[in-house]
């Protein structure tokens, strides 16, 4: 039985998806501000590691640290939905099969509770 990581195409495809994903996120003025102080090369490596682990690929990820870092950023449902949309777009553009995209988005859905802020939204 193969993992989602293998079905996506492994390391090279995950790397391409992450590159496309951040290109989209950083081009969106509603999201770019979340990353203005980040080292994007380091963040891309970190995201590749996280995405790989979430899809059953090799390695591990520091999920507790990820939760802490995201909670400090004040990310709400609106921003999270935009990010997931850009991830889906990046997966489509990388020619990942539709059923694998659906399974991928389903696999990462539980991470929303660790990313979306629990503080009241300012809007």
Residues 52 and 43: their CA atoms lie apart, in Å, by: 14
Alpha helices in the chain (DSSP H): 4-8, 10-27, 29-32, 40-54, 63-71, 77-93, 98-108, 112-115
70 is in an annotated binding site: yes
Residue 6: partners with Cβ closer than 8 Å, 6 or more residues away: 56, 57
Determine the Cα–Cα distance for residues 80 and 58; give it in Å rounded to an integer: 26
Which segments are annotated as binding site for heme? 70
Which residues line the annotated binding site?
A: 70
């Amino acid at each position: 039985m193969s993992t989602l990581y293998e079905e996506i195409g492994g390391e090279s495809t995950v790397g391409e998806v992450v590159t496309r994903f951040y290109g989209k996120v950083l081009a969106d003025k509603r999201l770019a501000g979340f990353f203005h102080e980040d080292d994007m090369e380091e963040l891309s490596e970190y995201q590749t590691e996280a995405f790989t682990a979430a899809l059953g690929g090799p390695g591990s990820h520091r999920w507790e640290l990820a939760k802490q870092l995201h909670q400090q950023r004040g990310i709400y449902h609106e921003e999270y939905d935009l990010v997931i949309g850009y991830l889906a777009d990046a997966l489509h553009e990388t020619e990942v099969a539709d059923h694998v995209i659906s399974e991928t988005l389903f696999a990462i859905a539980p991470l929303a509770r660790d990313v979306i802020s629990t503080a009241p939204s300012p809007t």
